Chains A and B, each alone.
Chain A
Amino acid sequence: GAGVSQSPSNKVTEKGKDVELRCDPISGHTALYWYRQRLGQGLEFLIYFQGNSAPDKSGLPSDRFSAERTGESVSTLTIQRTQQEDSAVYLCASSFPTRSGETQYFGPGTRLLVL
Chain B
Amino acid sequence: SQKIEQNSEALNIQEGKTATLTCNYTNYSPAYLQWYRQDPGRGPVFLLLIRENEKEKRKERLKVTFDTTLKQSLFHITASQPADSATYLCALPNQAGTALIFGKGTTLSVSS
Give A residues with C-beta under 8 Å from B: 4, 33, 35, 41-43, 45, 48, 50, 56, 59, 91, 93, 100-109
B54 to chain A: closest CB distance in Å? 11
- In angstroms, Cα B104 to Cα A46, docked, is 15
Q: How far is the CB of A17 from chain B (nearest CB, A)?
A: 24
Give B34-51 as 1s and 0s: 1 = Cβ < 8 Å from A's Cβ atoms. Answer: 100000011111100101
Besides A42-B105, A59-B99, 7 new A-B residue pairs in contact (Cβ under 8 A), listed by A number: A33-B100, A43-B89, A48-B99, A56-B96, A56-B98, A104-B100, A106-B44
Chain A residue with minimal CB distance to B87?
A: A42
Chain A minimum-CB-distance residue to B47? A103
Q: Is the CB of B43 within 8 A of A91?
A: yes
* Residue among A45, A48, A101 having the largest count of chain B Cβ atoms under 10 Å: A101
Chain B interface size band reads: 20 to 34
Cα distance, A45 to B4, chains bound together (Å) = 14
Within 8 A of A (CB), among B53-83: none
Cβ A43 vs Cβ B98 within 8 A: no
Could you give 16 example pairs across A and B, Cβ below 8 Å?
A4-B43, A35-B102, A41-B104, A42-B103, A42-B104, A45-B99, A45-B102, A48-B98, A50-B98, A59-B99, A101-B49, A101-B51, A103-B34, A103-B46, A107-B43, A108-B43
